[in-house]
Structure 1
Amino acid sequence: LPSSSSGLTTSSQKFCESYSSCCSILSDTRTVPLVLSQNRGINRQNCDSGLPSPLPSDCFKYVSWCDIEEHDVQGNLLRCPRVREGPSEEELFFRGEHTLKKGKQTTDTEKWRKRLQENWEDCAELNLSFQDLGDLCQVGNFKRILQRLIRVEKLWLVDNSLTDLSAIRLPRCRELNVNKNHFTSFKQLPRVPQIQHLSLAENNIMTLSGISDFRHTPLESLVLKRNPCEFQERYRQL
């Protein structure tokens, strides 16, 4: 960047000027103006930032990483991506957050490009925790991604309100963390023939029925703390 006579770059000068003007606005806290929103009526200005709500970045709050244009980041390069789908356009419209428009048809080429960019088949280590799966369509999309993890070896699925992954097979998974979900039985877990470390803390496993399925796996450690099965008679022996 070209330097100015003061030694600061032109970009830095512009930033400082805009920052100073912003601070002068924030210093006047005697009144809290009201902002009229086109869709949501009257909103009070955010007292912490001094800026009206919603912020410009709000347009990205439902966007997953692969929907952002002009980048070549693939799924196997990420460690903790957001994969949860956002609400539909109809739902956003009824919330007053979106103007309903005629949906754009997604071409087969675009679908294939997105699939290649996700590249879940090459992931060896992945954290898909805290996805906030609040809708059935989001759970369906989440399971679609899990089915593509054919090479994953370490996988974290903490606190996703999961109840049944029995249709999922993770052939190379050695370490699986599904803490803080809603599993009630070992039968609801994904098939993990190479599992070595399995953590099921803070689920709702009632009995140890089905635990014998792990006899034919190289399982070394199993965490079951804070599950009802801890109170089963002869729990440690079983």
Structure 2
Amino acid sequence: MSESSSGVNTLSGSFPKSHSSQFSEVGVTRAALSVDPSPDSGLVTTPLPSSRFRFVSWHRLEQCNVTGDQLTCPRVREGAPDMRKAPASPLNDLIFFIGGPSEEDLFLRQGADLYLDRGRKRREEEGQRWEERLQENWENCSELNLSYQDLGDPYQQDNFFRILRRLIRVEKLQLIDNSLTNLSSVRLPRCRMLNAHRNHLVCLRQLPKLPAVEHLCLSENAISSLEGLGALRNSPLTSLNLTRNPVTFTQDYRARVFSCLPNLQVLDGISKMPEDSVPPKLKGPENTRMCNIF
């Protein structure tokens, strides 16, 4: 029977029971006991009882029935707590110099993980929004009916106008009874037919940009003047409906509309007549007065 320089019997599988308490009381050496397994040393090693705990994290060793004199070659695991601040025990005396990352390192690591998680979530949200945009596919829509929308909430209005601004290829658009008040921020470059019946438009300047419009229905709004009608002069507009608007009671209403829109053929469902071609200024100074009905 041989004994190593540390006083531990290496041939037998047992250790002195008083070794752990003596080790903690002396407290001179802060290194873990180990046996050199190299063949050059001439020592025969036997498995230690702690071999079954070699893959256990340090912060879980105290829950196992293992003493300090049964450890050999302790391993530091990633994320292990700082044992330098652990309470004194025979086990902690052996691993006093071995600890996990410091509190500062843990804080920085948690901050980096949080930053990565936020970046990952942001990319996932952007990808989800892009998929939703592809599913909607408003850009390739050619005919759309968005009538009778309940736009009482500001979020609904913003989303509604977001859709309208994406209709770059729509040709026929229905916007009936949506309580719309201003569409001037919308451009519909390919729209040939727009129906905005029964809304709250008060001026023709509140219409969207319609360079290709041919049929325009604005009946039952609150349009009281023809200001802004010149924006449609260069458009191929052939049919316009302004019935049940205050502007229809203007003196020489039809003549003024036809004089401003040379391509117009039908106004309020009535085709162009010969007297509609006479310029309103030749009919006398009364062309600016209103026709009041009691």
TM-score bracket, normalised by the shorter chain, equals 0.5 to 0.7
Question: Which aligned pairs between 1:36-51 and structure 2 lie closer than 5 A?
Answer: none
Aligned with 1:184 (options 185, 195, 202): 202
Aligned twin of 1:119: 137
Please point out which of 190, 194, 204 is paired with 2:212.
Answer: 194
Runs of 4 or more consecutive aligned structure 1 residues displaced over 6 Å after TM superposition? none
Bigger helix fraction: 2
Tell me how far 1:149 sits from its aligned partner: 0.2
Residue 216 of structure 1: SS of its match in structure 2? coil
Over alpha carbons, which structure has the higher Rg?
Answer: 2
For structure 2, the residue ranges without an aligned partner over 5 or more in a row are 1-120, 257-294
Q: Quote the Cα distance in structure 2 between the aligned partners of 1:233 and 1:212.
A: 18
How far apart, in 2, do the equivalents of 1:135 and 1:233 lie?
40
Show structure 1 runs of 5+ residues with no match: 1-103
Q: Which residue of 1 aligns with 2:102?
A: none
Aligned to 1:221: 239
Aligned to 2:252, the other structure's residue is in SS state coil
Number of the residue aligned with 1:100: none
Query: Paired residue for 2:228, among 186, 210, 222?
Result: 210
Matches of 1:210 and 1:115, distance apart in 2 = 34
TM-score normalised according to structure 1 size: 0.55
The aligned length equals 135
Give the AA of the match of 1:146: L
- Asked if 1:155 corresponds to 2:169, the answer is no
CA distance in 2 between counterparts of 1:124 and 1:115 reads: 16
Higher RCO structure, 1 or 2 (CA under 8 Å, sep 6+): 1
Residues 136-157 of structure 1: CA deviation (Å, up to 9, x unaligned): 1111110000000000000000
| Residues 1:110 and 2:128 aligned together | yes
For residues 248 and 239 of structure 2, the distance between their equivalents in structure 1, rounded to whole angstroms, comes to 16
C-alpha distance after superposition, 1:3-27 (max 9, x if no partner): xxxxxxxxxxxxxxxxxxxxxxxxx
Map residues 26-41 of structure 1 onto 2, 5 A cutoff.
none
Per-residue CA deviation, residues 40-96 of structure 1 (Å, 9 max, x unaligned), is xxxxxxxxxxxxxxxxxxxxxxxxxxxxxxxxxxxxxxxxxxxxxxxxxxxxxxxxx
**CA RMSD, Structure 1 to Structure 2 (Å):** 1.4
Q: Secondary structure at the match of 1:237?
A: helix
> Normalising to structure 2: TM-score of the pair?
0.45
The percentage of aligned residue pairs carrying the same residue is 56
Write out aligned runs for 1:127-166 (5 A).
127-166=145-184
